[in-house]
Structures are given as structure tokens and as C-alpha cells.
Structure 1
Amino acid sequence: MTREFLRKHGTKLLVPLFMVFYMVSFFYLENRVNYRFHVIHSSFDKMVPFCEYFVVPYFLWFFYIAFTVLWFMFKNKDQKEYLQLIFNLGIGMTVFIFVSWIYPNGHLLRPIEFPRENIFTDMVRFLYTIDTPTNVLPSIHVYNSIAAFIAIARCKALKNKRWVVWGAFVLTISIVAATMFLKQHTVVDVVLALAMNVVVCILVYRPENSSILVHQREYSGAENS
């Protein structure tokens, strides 16, 4: 019974198991004491003004990623597309944990005082209390947003629902911009996240004979049996 359950539903267990590993690792990295981090900075950061209104798409990121993963897990019938998405997310997030572990990093871009006071600056102030400006390289907000958009744009079931694809595109661009306009990430964090997206997407989506896709076919066969 257990073996049959794992054959049919084992791929759905990958996400919660990985999230336990990720959250434990991230909590440890965020709460390390007595360590020095390398300050990430570029001259382009000064060209990006602080804008509190971007806190809305920044917080929408949590729902965007969760909804995308759950939809591909339970609603999309193409098991290969689901596995491509979670492998894409998982590889990027694992690389992020590894980089943060061996290369502690952070930035000093957050404003000491806000130029305005409104509900959005209150939201940013709350964000700053729950998220430190450390372990920022590469930006997971950027990486995961683009990974989710790629999965949505390539999804066969959504081919005729262009409004979904365009909505995901606008939200993804807004989230990427938000990481810089809220001074949550530097331009360097964003560029490296984009570069990592390119490399991992080539690994996950292009080579049909790659070991990842071989495993995907095996899992798909188990799911459909």
C-alpha cells in the first residue's frame, strides 16, 4: 500500500520535503550570530529611487509562487511540466542556500527615514522587521518569479488563456522591479538571479536526454499507471 501510494503521489511529496530543508537552512542562515558579511553594492543602485508602492507586488510574490506550484501540482495534468517547475525552483533555491552559506552577503541600501508616510510605508516598515538585508545574493524573489512565469508561459493547458500569461508577465516584472525600488535587493542580486534563471532553464527545459528529464519520464509513468 505504501509503495503504491508513493508510486502515484510521490512527486507531490517533493515540495513539502524540500520546503522543510529550505526553511530550516534559511532560518539558520538568517539567525547566525557573530559573522561578517560581504556588502553587495553597485553604482546602479543609486539610480533606483525608493518607492513604497512596490510593496504590493512584493507581498503578492508569496501568493504567486504558492498558487503556481499548487496549480501545477493538482490541476495541471502534464506531470512533466509540474516536475520541470519544481526542479527549476528547487535548483535555484538550493544554489541560493549554498551561496549564502559559503559567501555571507548583505547590503546597506535601506533608507533611514522614508520620504513619505502612508499605509505603504507602514507595510515596508513591517517588511523590514521580518526580513533582514542579509543573504540577498541572488534574489530568490526574482529567480522564483521568473521560474513561475516560464512554467506558465510554456504550459500547454494555458496556451489559449493568454490573459493568464500576460497577467503573470506583468506581475513578474512588477516583483522584479519591487526588489530594487523597496531597497530589498541590489541590482547585482537581480542580475545574478536572471543569469541563474538562464542557466537552470537550459538545464531543465532544453536537453531532452538530460538526467532530469529521464527522471521526469519515470515519474510520469508511475503517476499514470
Structure 2
Amino acid sequence: MKPWLDRFRSARMWKWRLTGPAMADHDSQGAGMLKRLMLKPLLYLLSFPLAGCLYALQNHAKPRMHVLATALDRALPFIPAFSVFYALWYPFLFLTLFIILQRSLSQYYQTLAAIFLGMVLCNVIFFAYQTYVPRPEHIGTGLFSHLVRFVYAEDKPYNGFPSIHVLTCYLVARGSALLPRRFRWGVYGFSALIILSTLFIKQHVLADAAAGILLGEMVFRVTGSLLSLKPALFRPNGRQL
């Protein structure tokens, strides 16, 4: 599948035939086409804050909560330095989706749709099955410990099962399958670090991570099936870029 950016660049190969006003008009049209091709798919990233609003409405204690921590979870070390990877979650998601968009519009839409569907399903589970993640009593005083405190203040110890951090990282890793090898393995590696960070800063437990991966695989396959049945759903105006 040829990226839309390559098509735009190949169109510019004819630029040498134009001179004066004709060249200026050609450049203006090319810039406008590039802007339109980029802007519309990127606007769908606004679905993330929408799903985030559902999370915020439930990010508080409820009368009945479940603790899924096991002895293995308690045996895992608390590593404040991993809070850096946890905090970089949002920039990582947006950057990876942007890179996927350069490679394949359909893969971008499938990944984006899977993320949105997965986040909605997570919030349904949060509503029906509220969990609580025990946090360490002693966090420390270093720079990374202060970052952990910031994370704890912004992201309460509820709504942990499944982990949205794990879900979304797994999905962008799945969506990056068409990327060149160096980018693909970079996404895999950073996704793994963010997933590990959810455990090492005691923001999630192993059950949360496992559920996030299983749910991610399910919604990615569902959106992939929709793509194969109704390609136009993922290609506005029926065009392949």
C-alpha cells in the first residue's frame, strides 16, 4: 500500500515543467492537497479526550471495589524511574499514530478505531467492576519519586482493570506492523517500557496488564474484520491513499 505522502511527492516531480505563475499555482495546490490529506485523519485523534471524559467521570472510589493484587504483584520491585515512561504515554501514542498514518491510511484508521472501541469497553468494565490498586507507603524523595507523586495525584488508584495504558500501547504496537523495521522495533520497545512502568510504579497489577492485552487483541481483530468487510468505512470518499 503506497503512502499518501509518496503520491504527493511523486506529483511534485512534474514541477520542473512549470515556470512563473504556473509554478506558484502548482505549489499552492500541492500544499493545499497535503494539508487536506493530513488534517482530516488527524482530527479523529480528538476521540481520545472524549473517551478520557468517560474515565474522569469514574475516577473516584465507589462503595464496592475489588483488589486484584497477588503475591507476585507484591514481589515486583517499586522503581520510580519508570514513571518517566508512564508520563510519556500520551506523546508516544500521538507520535506513533502519526507515523502509522504516513505509511497506511487504512492501518491508521483500524488502529485508531480499535483504541477508541477499547477505551469505551474499558469504561463499561470500570462501571460494572471497580478495582483498587494498593500503592506503596514509602515513595522516596528523589526526582523520580516526585514524578510518581504527580502521577498518583492525576491518576487515582481506581479503574485499573483493564489497563488503558497497556491496551493502547499494545494496539499501536499491533498497528505498527507495516512500518519499516527500525520504527517497528522502536514502537515495540517503547510500548514494552510503558507496560512495565504500569507495574513498576504500582499503578496497575498483572491482571490489569493481561486484560489490557487480551482486550486489545480482540478489538484489533474486530476493527480488522470491519475493514475487510467495509473498506469505505476507513477510506473517506472511497479513496485509497
TM-score (norm 1): 0.80
Matched ranges for 1:195-210 at <5 A: 195-205=214-224, 210=225
Please report how far the alpha carbon of residue 191 of structure 1 lies from its aligned counterpart in structure 2 after TM superposition.
Answer: 1.1
Of 159, 168, 183, the match for 1:164: 183
Encode CA deviations 1:186-212: one digit per residue, 9 max, x unaligned.
11101111221232233333xxxx334
For 1:46 and 1:24, how far apart are their aligned partners in 2?
A: 31
Write the letter of the residue equivalent to 1:46.
Answer: R
Write the letter of the residue equivalent to 1:214.
Answer: L
- Larger-gyration structure (1/2): 2
RMSD (Å) for aligned C-alpha atoms: 2.4
By relative contact order (CA 8 Å, sep 6+), the higher-ranking structure is 1
Matched, 1:139 2:168: no
Secondary structure at 1:106 match in 2: coil
Matched ranges for 1:5-84 at <5 A: 12-16=42-46, 18-31=47-60, 35-73=63-101, 75-76=102-103, 78-84=104-110
Please report how far the alpha carbon of residue 172 of structure 1 lies from its aligned counterpart in structure 2 after TM superposition.
Answer: 1.0
Among all aligned residue pairs of Structure 1 and Structure 2, give the percentage whose two residues are the same amino acid: 23
Give aligned pairs, total: 204
Matched, 1:217 2:232: yes
**8 A contact 1:11–1:219 mirrored in 2:** no
Write the letter of the residue equivalent to 2:76.
Answer: V
For 2:226 and 2:175, how far apart are their aligned partners in 1?
A: 19
Of 203, 206, 216, the match for 1:187: 206
For 2:195 and 2:169, how far apart are their aligned partners in 1?
A: 8
Write the letter of the residue equivalent to 2:117.
Answer: I
| Long gaps (5+) in structure 1 | 1-7
Other-structure match for 2:138: 113
For 2:129 and 2:111, how far apart are their aligned partners in 1?
A: 27
Structure 1 residues 12 and 213: alpha-carbon distance in aligned structure 2, compared to 1, 3 A threshold = farther
| Long gaps (5+) in structure 2 | 1-36
